Each structure stands twice: as C-alpha cells, then as structure tokens.
Structure 1
C-alpha cells in the first residue's frame, strides 16, 4: 500500500510537502517558547530595535541598487578610560546606495555612585565632520531620598533612545543639516524622518527633503561618552543601525521578524487542521455507521440534521459563533468541529447501506451477534480506510477556515498564524506600501499546505476505493 501510494506523483509530492512542514513544526515546538505569541510577537517593545516594514535581505540580489543591512553591536566594557571619562567606540562601515531607516541607542544596568553621569553620543563621518546627536541623557532617574549607593538603573528594561524620534537628536540633526547647507526645521526633520539622511548623507540641494541627500559611503565611528564618578559603569551598551532589508522574510510595520511569525504558524496550522479533521471525522464516522446500520427514525433524525448542517453557509456561522464565544484557538476548533462532521456522516452512511446487506453481515446476524459487535467488527473495518482519506481531505478545509477567521480579525490574538499575519498586512497598508513580502509569503504557505493534503487525498482515494483505479 505504501509503495503504491509513493508511486503516485501526487502522493510523492504531497508527502514531500507534508513531511517538510511536519519537520519544521517539530523544530518550532522544540525551539520556540509556548508563550511566544504573548511574550514576544504581541509585544512591540521587543521589536523596537528592528527596522520597520523592510523587505528580506535576499531582495538585494534582485534590485540594481544596494540596500543597507541591519547592524547591531553590543559592548559589555568601555573601549577607552580616562579618569572620570569612559568611552565606547563602535565602527560602522556604510556601503550602500540607500539610507538606513533609523538609529537606536540603548543601555542597561547603569550603576553610578554620586551625581547622575552625563552620557553623550556623537558620530564621526568619513568626510571628517562630526555630529553630536545628544550631549546628555535626561531620562536617567536621579537618586531617590534615602536610597543607598550604588544607584542602579535600567536593570529589567533597558534605556532606549530611538534617535529618529528623540527631540534632542532631532534638534542636533537640524543644526547639522544647516551646517551642511540644508535649511530644515525640527518639525520637517521629525515628520519626514530625515535624521538618517542627515547623518549618513551629503547634500545635493538645499531643499529639506530626503531627495536632497545622497549616501556618503565609508566608515562611521559612533562614540558614546560617559562622564561621572570613575566607578560608574554600564553593564551592556547596544548600538543599532536599522537597515533597509532584514532577515529571510523581512519585517512588518512594528518591525516584527516575519520569518519568526511564519515559522510559528506551521505547528499552529497543522494542529488546527489535524485536531479539527480528526474529531469531525470520528464524530461523522460514528454517526454515519449508526445511521446506516440501525436505520429507522434514528437514521432519519441523523440524516436530516446532517443535511441541515451540510447546507448551511459555514463562514457566516463561524463568524457568529466565534464572535459570541470569544477569539480563542480552542473556541475556533470547537466551532469548526461542530459544523464539520456532517459531510462525513452522509458519505459513510451510503457506504454502510451497501455493506450491511453483504453475506458476512447477514451471517453474523443469524449467529446472534449484537448490533454493536457487527458495527465494530464488520462495518467499521471496510469503512475506516476511506474515512481516513476523508480526514486527510478535511484538514486543508479546517486550515483555510481558521485563516479566513483570522483574516477577518476573529482569530486568536495571542498566537501568530498565517491568516492573522495576512489580516494585519491588509489592515496596516501593506498593499499601499507595496510590502509584497508581507502578503505573498503567508498566502503562499496557506495554499501550499492545502495543496499538500489534497495531493495526498488524491493518491489515497484509488487505494481505499479500488473501483477508482485506472484499468
């Protein structure tokens, strides 16, 4: 049977798809935390270092210009020390045709012993010019009354300065733009996000716009200086130059790594499809056998109820019940199971009507076998293989139904799914911004998963139903 299944092109192709997706799901389950959705994916603070709405890194191979890569540098100790002055120096080689999308400076575990230390950041450009982005950090809480030394700040949550929106950095960049011959106001620099253009560019006109700058390639030296007590120290310092490309699948409007969200969607999709198909098939199989074998009023009641469910418009009902019950993964599974068994019941009943008139069933009745024994021993075995094929065929339907609910905003908000990623893409202007990587990839994964299960079903159907085999 397995050899015959794998000889089929559709069976082989479907098996390759499903085995690949299953291995990816196992990898995700073993490496991702179970609370990934709430702790990381739905936490904007976690993604503040990442570039916003940028394509994958491999996009550079398909465009005639070079986009800057994402750059992150962590330092755990100062590069230079001079009495009460400590410096951290980070070198950044800029070699791209487009500008970075932002600069983020952050540090944690700040320890000081007297007054709040003065922390500043300046950039030395390849043309010899220097721009001071800020000369003090006003966000450090001073010592509290009665607090004993040493004073420790930013232990759990690091101090983060997103320079593209920091008022002091914007003012400094505006002054530096005037030195370069470009007249800007702080409002223009802030609203047009011009800080990276001013820092990493050289002007080609005096108009205050992104088009007025061209990239200045070369080595940039970021120098963080802390002036205070000689014992003052910073546990971890990080400098981020946000690129214009990132990772294998790009990022969304919050800077979330779409590769991570898409990976997490693999086990979620297979779990939903597998559980819904298994439960709905078991219910449909049991009711179909009972209906076909027992007959009478029981058969009539089960079939009329199944006919009603089978002819109701599924999506509006799913929307209604999920809206009433709540947007959780298990509520979605429950609703899909409740409305998903009817088709299997109708098909199984038609098979049972044929089987129960066979000679071995009649012989079992004459021998005094009970109805339950006959259904278990003589009716179930010939029906079971085809029920398994129906279960395989039901999995893509469940996955597509969940994706539809998520796309309509009724999915579980605590778990990233492919449908949810698509919904957020359309709600946050992916089409208007031509963020193709945000739309195409989850849509492709939904389609290829459904195709994989359908191919397996097509390969299984002739095996479980020999009459369909080609002569």
Structure 2
C-alpha cells in the first residue's frame, strides 16, 4: 500500500468516525485523561508518587481537608491551607549574653471555622548543645487578648524542628483554661478537656459557647503570632522559619486522613491505569489473534491440542488466581500486566480462530496456495488484513476489564505498593471508613475516574464495531 493510499484510508475512517457521536464522546473523555496524565506531573512531581506511603512527606499538609472549591457553593466559609514564610524580625540584647530574636506573623482570618492546625517549622544552628535556645509562641487575637501557648527549651536532637502547636499538651491546657473563663457551668459539663480542639477557643469570640463547636461564634480579623527565641550564644541562629495554618479546605480534591493530596494521587493513578489498560489490551489481543490464527491455519491434530490448551486456560478463574499469585509473590505493576495478559487472551483467540477458518476456505486463498504461496504469505496478505479491524475494536473493549481488575487487586491490598493507583486510594478510604465519616471527596473521584475511563474505551470500541462491521448498524 502506498503512503497516499494509507492517508486516504485514514481520512475515510476519520470521516466515518466523526459521524459516531458515542465514539466522539468516548474520544473526548479519553483525551481528557491523557492530557491529565501528561500535564499533571508538571504541577505534581514524581516525588509525590514515590512517597505516597511516606507519612513524613505529607506531615505539613492539612488532615482530611475538603476540596477548596466547596467554599464557592456554601455560605459557611472554611479556612484554606496557608504556609506563611514572610514575617517581621526584631532583635535585641537582654543583658550581656542573652539575644532575643522575635518573628512576627500576621494572619487574616475571615472564616466561619477555626484552622485545623498551627504548625511551626524551622532549622536551628546551635553552637553549644548544652545551652539550647528557649522559644515562646504567643497569639494576639483581634479583640486584644494575648495568649502564650508555648514556652519551652528546644532541647530536641537534630537541626530540623517541627512543632505542632495545636497538639502540644501545654498549648491545649492554655487554650482550655482561656475558654473556661467565659463558659457557663452548664456548658463546662458538656466539655471534656481531652476532646477539646485547642484552635476553637483561640479563634472564637470570648463569650459563652466558646468551647462548644456548635455554639462557638468565630472571631474574625487579623491575628498576630509572635514567636520569640532566646539565644545564649551569638553564633546561634534560626533559618527557614515557617508558620503553617492548617486549612479545612485544600486543593482540587482535598486530602485524606494521612494528609495526602488526593488530586496528586488521582493524576498519578491515571498514568498507571492508562499504562495497565492499554498495554494489557494490546498484548493480550495480539497474542490471542496470533494463537487463534495459528490454530485455524495449522488445523488437524495441532488445532485439537491448541484448543485443549485454550479450554484449560478458559476454565481457570482469573481473579482468584490473581489474588493468590499477588499474595504469594511481591506484586509489581509489570507482574500484574504479565498475569493479566496470560489470563486475558482467550476471548480474542476464539473469535480470531473462527474468522481465520472462514478466510482460509475462500477461493482466493485456495488459488494462492495452488500457485505455491507460503503459509506465512497467505496469513500476512489475506488473513491478517481482515482480522486486524476486529483487533482494534477488541483492544478498546478490553481496556476497561484490565483497569478494573488491577483496581480490584489494589482495593484488596494486593497491588503494587510502590505506585499510587485508584484502587489503592479506594482501599485506604475503605480501611479508614471514609464513607461512614462523610469523606465523599476521598471515595467519589477515583470511583468516577475508573467509571469514566472504562466508559470512554467502551464508547470507542462500540463506534469502531459500527464502522468496521457495518451490519451492526442495522441491529
């Protein structure tokens, strides 16, 4: 076939395909996921995928935060996640040896709920470990009240320091004591110290109900956070000081209970699903066609042996075997693809054998054989060109099965733990009862993504069937 003829055939095919509305819808959905898989990693680096199971990597993200866009559809505004690295600095000497270093942060709070966390991170350089610096953390509210939440020596080992203010025992006691000043005895009976959210009294109006989540009225305005360090050596210093205001909303799809960005997981799961679905379908379909054509063309006792092998493979329950193999061997994405191909070629093989049997009995095939054409030439020139159109439609229709099978293995905890997949996200959601807790943003996106991606290939396959097998148009 000349190149010009090939181009013309492609144009004719595209003209027919554009008339299939269901096929165009499937192609649009598929292109969306391909674009997501290509463009997404530019904003969500591969490190996020590699460290999906590393809790320390995500520790500065908010926990169980909703998607940011819900604030546009609700009158009840929730605070976003903020990382504040800009602050005012002042220094002075106290006596001959003590140096005071003060960092002042400003935070504008105009929301109906308090932040989920207050986290302070910094790197310190101390010349003499026996003389660690002392730190205080003071919150100045818009109503003028000043609360010292932390005052302690930084005696922990290591230069990198991360202090979760809202989880500190001393800060909890201080916040609870501040709230008690304004609570009624009746409300105090409803409050338990251990269950108090320290951020609630800090960011609520000083009035009865300050310790009750359903009654506390938010105190809006500008909060000033003053972090003071007292150094005993002139060489001591603080670097990379950052204040993290834990949000109730974050990103496009929020975060899970392990603080992981779910949109990053969805993007990298898209790449894995496309790889598994397309590669598995291509390999299984081509192997099935090769096996079916070879069985039909050889015929006789060879065909009988090949068909008995086919029947044995068809009788094996695929999913239980995959579960068993994944439990025995350490699963990886390549092993999963290999097993899916091994147990996924039989349907294509049966159809290819049936079509090859019909074609080999045609008069033009008999004529080619009579003039001395080799079996390979006959298969290449007469058999394969008529089977390949079916192959492309079969590839599109077999992709959803591969995607869902891998997702099922990951959902059962038997997938590749080194790669984030949609099934893994659902597995983690199920293991922490996300549905019962109302964390719909953890469950719906990966489920819808699997359904839409599978549906796109089903639509494309249906359109290809209609184009390549015109008789289907009348069915």
TM-score of the two chains, using structure 2 as the length reference? 0.90
Give the corresponding residue for 2:126: 112
Q: Any gaps of 5 or more consecutive residues in structure 1?
A: 142-152
| Partner Cα distance (2:454, 2:140) in 1 | 54
Distance 1:426 1:243, change over 3 A: same
Give the corresponding residue for 1:305: 309
> Is the 2:200–2:216 contact (alpha carbons within 8 Å) kept by the matching residues of 1?
yes
Residues 6-405 of structure 1: pairs in structure 2 closer than 5 A:
6-28=18-40, 33-34=45-46, 36-38=48-50, 40-75=51-86, 79-83=89-93, 84-108=99-123, 110-114=124-128, 115-141=131-157, 153-154=158-159, 158-181=160-183, 188-189=192-193, 191-205=194-208, 209-211=212-214, 213-228=216-231, 229-405=233-409
SS in 2 for 1:160: strand
| Partner Cα distance (1:369, 1:206) in 2 | 92
Pick which of 116-125 and 315-324 moved more. 315-324
Distance 1:35 1:102, change over 3 A: closer
Q: How many residues align?
A: 452
Alpha-carbon shift at residue 455 of structure 1 (Å): 0.6
| Partner Cα distance (1:230, 1:176) in 2 | 36
| Partner Cα distance (2:42, 2:113) in 1 | 38
SS in 1 for 2:430: helix
Give the corresponding residue for 2:460: 456
Q: Any gaps of 5 or more consecutive residues in structure 2?
A: 1-12, 94-98
Alpha-carbon shift at residue 206 of structure 1 (Å): 6.7
Alpha-carbon shift at residue 213 of structure 1 (Å): 2.8
> Is the 2:210–2:217 contact (alpha carbons within 8 Å) kept by the matching residues of 1?
no
What CA deviation, in whole Å up to 9, does each residue of 1:342-379 have, x standing for no partner? 00000111111111111221111111122222222221
SS in 2 for 1:210: coil
TM-score of the two chains, using structure 1 as the length reference? 0.90
Cα-Cα RMSD: 2.2
What CA deviation, in whole Å up to 9, does each residue of 1:46-87 have, x standing for no partner? 211222112101111223311111121014x75212232111
| Partner Cα distance (2:72, 2:310) in 1 | 54
Distance 1:52 1:34, change over 3 A: closer
> Is the 2:114–2:200 contact (alpha carbons within 8 Å) kept by the matching residues of 1?
yes
Distance 1:80 1:372, change over 3 A: same
| Partner Cα distance (1:222, 1:178) in 2 | 22
| Partner Cα distance (2:77, 2:466) in 1 | 53
SS in 2 for 1:202: coil
| Partner Cα distance (1:29, 1:364) in 2 | 53
> Is the 1:325–1:331 contact (alpha carbons within 8 Å) kept by the matching residues of 2?
no
> Is the 2:393–2:464 contact (alpha carbons within 8 Å) kept by the matching residues of 1?
yes
Distance 1:139 1:300, change over 3 A: farther
Alpha-carbon shift at residue 207 of structure 1 (Å): 8.6
